[in-house]
Chains A and B, each alone.
Chain A
């Protein structure tokens, strides 16, 4: 084999390509591996062609769902047997956060989102503000109208991704929110005072937005009610809301609740 499984894994992760490794952790062939991913026809073997075939199929399924865990098989891949335990580990590419509006809050949000493992794009129509120099931590800085950018990349957004609209300028954020609602993005939030947010709802309605969809999906004013003021504190309140939206939790302090932590 020209490249080791580790090298194939490393190249995929560095290119943000989804990849999964299946490893025998108990039974015959302990330690043997198969790697599966975009652009990688399954490489490696677990020591038995029938077992390989079944595990490759299961690994592709686990990778598509972004899951990791142990599966049990017979020596030749038989179901409902447990001679061989295989740990399938999926490595999904990082989720994407799109931030519209190159404002003060944006820089702080880029930093916090990077800490959380997002690939971050900053987009603003104003060339003087949307510069890599102002947002060195961003993976990408795009000069474009937010809704036009979403028309280009929107079909790649999924439930793990986030769109944060920080422009608080109706002429940008109304079309941006409408374009974001047309995607599968998991989190959509828009910044603004209560008055701005109320006014924005009126404009969204006038623009023909599906207001049930807006109510169900738009977080505005953006962020959890942590009471912070600075851009950094605001960024944490936004990212905390992104987490809570994903997990479906009502965000209270753990010390005020009694359920399981994870």
Chain B
């Protein structure tokens, strides 16, 4: 979250709403540890990353959806979970993200 602070500040100063996605858990091989984060502005601008580039596209759509509904939720990407989204990690691991509006 530290690395994306400047982008978040810039968007918030411009009056844009921001969604924050954070890796909260990983199973198996995963490129990033819990705490890796990505922010998405309502304009669609993106900062940071939560994987090696495998799921970022899907995270943007989730984040924009969360900004429009005000919802917050854990979203899982990977192959090992039946509930998992169709988007997987090529490394075969599973990552759990918490995505929420940055309204705090």
Chain A residues packing against B (C-beta within 8 Å): 4-6, 9-10, 13, 23, 25-26, 30-31, 33, 68-70, 85, 87, 89-91, 260-262
Closest B residue to A7 by beta carbon equals B104
Q: A13-B2, A25-B98, A69-B34 are in contact. Are A5 and B104 (CB under 8 A)?
A: yes
Query: Are B33 and A25 in touch, CB under 8 angstroms?
Result: no
Flag whether B84 is at the interface (Cβ < 8 A).
Answer: no
Q: Is the CB of B2 within 8 A of A25?
A: no
Told that A10-B9, A85-B74, A91-B1 touch, could you supply 17 new A-B pairs with CB distance under 8 A? Answer: A4-B104, A6-B104, A13-B2, A13-B5, A23-B98, A25-B72, A26-B74, A30-B73, A31-B72, A33-B104, A69-B25, A70-B24, A89-B1, A89-B35, A90-B35, A261-B29, A262-B30
Query: In the complex the two chains form, what is the Cα distance from A85 to B102 in whole Å?
Result: 19
Q: Find the A residue at minimum CB distance from B98.
A: A25
Residues of A with C-beta under 8 A to B22: 87, 89
With contacts A70-B25, A91-B2, A262-B29 taken as known, whether A31 is within 8 angstroms of B100 at the C-beta atoms is yes
On whether A25 and B34 interact (CB within 8 A), knowing A4-B104, A31-B100, the answer reads no
Residue of A nearest to B93 (CB): A262
Cβ-defined contact, B24 with A87, below 8 A: yes
Q: What are the residues of chain A within 8 A of B73 when measuring CB–CB?
A: 30
Chain B residues with Cβ below 8 Å from A23 are 98, 100
B9 neighbours in A (Cβ, 8 Å)? 10
6 A-B pairs with least C-beta separation: A87-B24, A25-B98, A68-B35, A31-B72, A68-B34, A5-B104
Q: Residues on B close to A: CB < 8 A?
A: 1-2, 5, 9, 22, 24-25, 29-30, 33-35, 72-74, 98, 100, 102, 104
Cβ–Cβ < 8 Å partners of A10 in chain B: 5, 9
Instruction: Return B68 CB to nearest CB of chain A, in Å.
Output: 16
Taking CB atoms, residues of chain B closer than 8 Å to A89 are 1, 22, 34-35
Q: Specify which chain B residues have a CB less than 8 angstroms from the CB of A4 in the assembled complex.
A: 104
Q: Which residues of chain A come closer than 8 Å to B30, judged between CB atoms?
A: 262
Q: Which residues of B contact A9 (CB under 8 A)?
A: 1
- Verify B104–A87 contact, CB threshold 8 A: no
Instruction: List chain A residues, Cβ under 8 A from B102.
Output: 6
Q: Which residues in B have their C-beta under 8 angstroms from that of A90? A: 35
Contact of B98 among A6, A69, A87, A91 (CB under 8 A): A87
With the chains together, A87 CA to B24 CA distance in Å? 6
Q: List 22 A-B contacts (CB under 8 A).
A: A4-B104, A5-B104, A6-B104, A9-B1, A13-B2, A13-B5, A25-B24, A30-B72, A31-B104, A68-B33, A68-B35, A69-B34, A70-B24, A70-B34, A87-B22, A87-B34, A89-B22, A90-B35, A91-B1, A91-B2, A262-B29, A262-B30
